[in-house]
A and B are shown apart, each in its own frame.
Chain A
Amino acid sequence: MLCDVCKCNDAAVFLTQILEGKMQKVNLCDACSKEKGVQDPTGFALADLLLGIGAAEEIEKGAPTQKCGVCGFTQADFKKTGRLGCSACYITFSEGLGSLLKAMHKGTEHVGKLPERAYREIELSDRVRTLTENLRKAVAEENYETAASLRDQIKQLGTDVASHS
């Protein structure tokens, strides 16, 4: 049996993990098991390792030639390391990551803490959405004076958002 990581040496380390009823297996050669830190149980999680193998394939399904516009990271890099290049990679590779995160975590949406700044931004974007809706109505009713004022307010909020991020 060949090693799941390098696919050239014979596997010598066989790992099995059962998590929430799902069994995951991975076979490694000596060199790869050392490199992946399998010998160091404090820092090792099978999920991380499987991620490096299975996840890249997931992402490949999305868009094979995609490259992160911010950091230049590609799916091939992800396959190699099992880690992403920068925070913007989550948007670049969102299609492939979606199903991966779903399989890996309890839920698909974050419900915990966010920075204060995030709450201000969410509030702002909610207000922009309401104003845009009102603007649409005002235009439909040919109420151009209101529409102009709404347009200015939206513009102002837009610059606020920009200055925050």
Chain B
Amino acid sequence: MKFSNVIATGGEWLRGEGPHHQIVISSRVRLARNLRHRPFPGWAKKLERTQILELIKPRVEELPEMQDSFSEMLQDLSALEKQVLVERHLISREHAAKSVGSAVVMNRRQTLSIMVNEEDHLRMQSIRSGLQLKNAFKLVDKVDSTLEGKLDFAYDSRLGYLTACPTNVGTGMRASAMLHLPGLVLSEMINQVIQAVNKIGLAVRGLYGEGTEAMGNLFQISNQTTLGEKEEEIISRLSKVIETIIEKEHDARQMLIQKKSNTLWDQIGRAYGVLTFAHAMTSKEALNLLSIIKLGVDLGAFPEDRRLPIDELFIDTQPAHLQKSSQQKLNAEERDELRARIIRDRLRVFPKPDISKVARESAGNGSASAPQNNE
């Protein structure tokens, strides 16, 4: 599969069909594995890294899950292509900085991506739409079980899987979900939630920026520890906490509708106005305004069939995606102009926000995943 094919298709998680997809954008689970007695990538010399890569890459490519896959050495990808993969969460920023001796292999649906010689010899990641941590884990777990028969993984009966960084030792697993929480941010309850979650050993951080400063009201929640707890336990604990946050987010939205409705309609109206008519827009402004429009779709102010175009804009307006679509390198000013144009074009067919729809539907019939209003 060619890189242009990767660009052309959005990836399964982006279509947003998973459970609780209004609030949970995506679920990810990654496993870190290393070969026994081989230097970790950060310590290995170039030749050793290449040898390790040659051992691992063919085994990864022959996986049944990797039929019709995209597989590339990092040195054969341009800086822009790497950045596109980062913006789609298919490789890490750290991996994008790698060159000779590192590779990435991913399946066509973009649900499975395997980085070779990132910080560890193998970083296997599954990404799914909505709250599907269990399914994401099932997929990487299966891939891991296949690979362990062909590769000699480093482990210790007491410490579990051995990783380059001691923070990953044990399960080598990091499970995370990306959440869209505009209700909690607008009602100024987000910091309380973050603090509460941090207290129980899970990490919450803004996807781009911290706390109330988080751009696009997007937050990532993940497990912090990897030793002393089973994979399934970590995932079920994390899932339960996420379900609670989803409830809190729905409550916050209800509260806004009932008590601060004018502020809410004002925000949605302004976001719609600026996005429809602006001629220059930074990435930060775009994310923040798109977040409010997405909230508007959730609440019924915009028709449901407008959800996908908005979700796609979150990715398509990122710097590397913009430059890839325009086929040229752009400076910041040119990017802001192009970003505004793309958004205007897509919003041209967007109806004006219809507040009357919200009032009717918020009484309980909002969506399948929304809890019923208690009052």
Binding site for B on A (CB under 8 A): 17-21, 37, 40-45, 47-48, 51, 55, 70-71, 73, 77, 81-88, 90-91, 97, 100-101, 104-118, 121-122
Among B24-40, those with CB < 8 Å from A are 34-40
Known pairs A21-B199, A106-B227, A113-B160; list 10 more (Cβ under 8 Å). A20-B199, A20-B201, A37-B94, A41-B207, A41-B208, A47-B224, A84-B166, A110-B159, A112-B231, A116-B148
> Do B149 and A101 touch across chains, with their CB atoms under 8 A apart?
no
A-B pairs, top 7 by smallest CB distance, nearest first, are A107-B228, A110-B160, A87-B154, A105-B227, A106-B228, A87-B162, A85-B43
6 A-B contacts (beta carbon < 8 Å): A43-B94, A83-B42, A87-B36, A90-B156, A90-B169, A108-B227
Whether the Cβ atoms of B93 and A104 lie closer than 8 Å is: no
B227 lies within 8 A of A48 (CB): no
**Of all chain A residues, which has the CB nearest B34?**
A87
Q: How large is the interface on B (under 10, 10 to 19, 20 to 34, 35 or more residues)?
A: 35 or more
Establish whether residues B169 and A112, one from each chain, have CB atoms under 8 Å apart when the complex forms: no
Residues 15-61 (chain B) with a chain A CB within 8 angstroms: 34-40, 42-43
Name the A residues within 8 Å of B236 (CB-CB): none
Q: How far is the CA of A88 from the CA of B206 in the complex (A)?
A: 36
- CB-CB under 8 A from B226, the residues of chain A are 105
- In angstroms, how far is the closest chain B Cβ from the Cβ of A71? 5
A117: which B residues are within 8 A, CB to CB?
A: 148
Q: How far is the CB of A63 from chain B (nearest CB, A)?
A: 17
Q: Is the CB of B165 within 8 A of A82?
A: yes
**A42-B207 contact given A87-B154, A115-B155, CB 8 Å threshold:** yes
A115, B148: Cβ atoms closer than 8 Å: yes
Using CB atoms, name the residue of chain A closest to B227: A105
Closest to B194 in A: A18
* With contact pairs A20-B199, A71-B39 given, residues A104 and B148 touching in the complex (Cβ less than 8 Å): no
Q: Would you call A51 and B227 a contact (CB within 8 A)?
A: no
Identify which of A87, A104, A117 gathers the most chain B CB atoms within 10 Å of its CB: A87
For the complex, is B305 an interface residue (Cβ under 8 Å from A)? no
Verify A71–B43 contact, CB threshold 8 A.
yes
Contact of B201 (CB < 8 Å), options: A19, A43, A55, A71: A19
Asked if residues A110 and B158 are in contact (CB atoms below 8 Å), the reply is yes
Q: Could you tell me the distance between the alpha carbons of A12 and B372 in the complex, rounded to whole angstroms?
A: 47
Given contacts A19-B224, A107-B227, A111-B230, are A83 and B119 in contact (CB under 8 A)?
Answer: yes
Q: Is the beta-carbon distance between B170 and A112 smaller than 8 angstroms?
A: yes
Asked if A84 and B209 make an inter-chain contact with CB atoms under 8 angstroms apart, the answer reads no
**Interface flag for B99 (CB, 8 Å):** no
Question: Please, which residue of chain B has its CB at the minimum distance from the CB of A18?
Answer: B198
Q: Are A81 and B157 in contact (CB under 8 A)?
A: no
In the complex, what residues of A have CB within 8 A of residue B39's CB? 71, 73, 85-86
| Complex alpha-carbon distance, A88 and B35, angstroms | 11
Chain B residues with CB under 8 Å of A122's CB are 157
Interface flag for B332 (CB, 8 Å): no
B160 adjacent to A114 (CB under 8 Å): yes
Q: Mark B147-181, 1 if CB is under 8 A from A, else 0.
A: 01100011111111110111101110100000000
Cross-chain contact of A110 among B37, B38, B200, B227 (Cβ < 8 A): B227
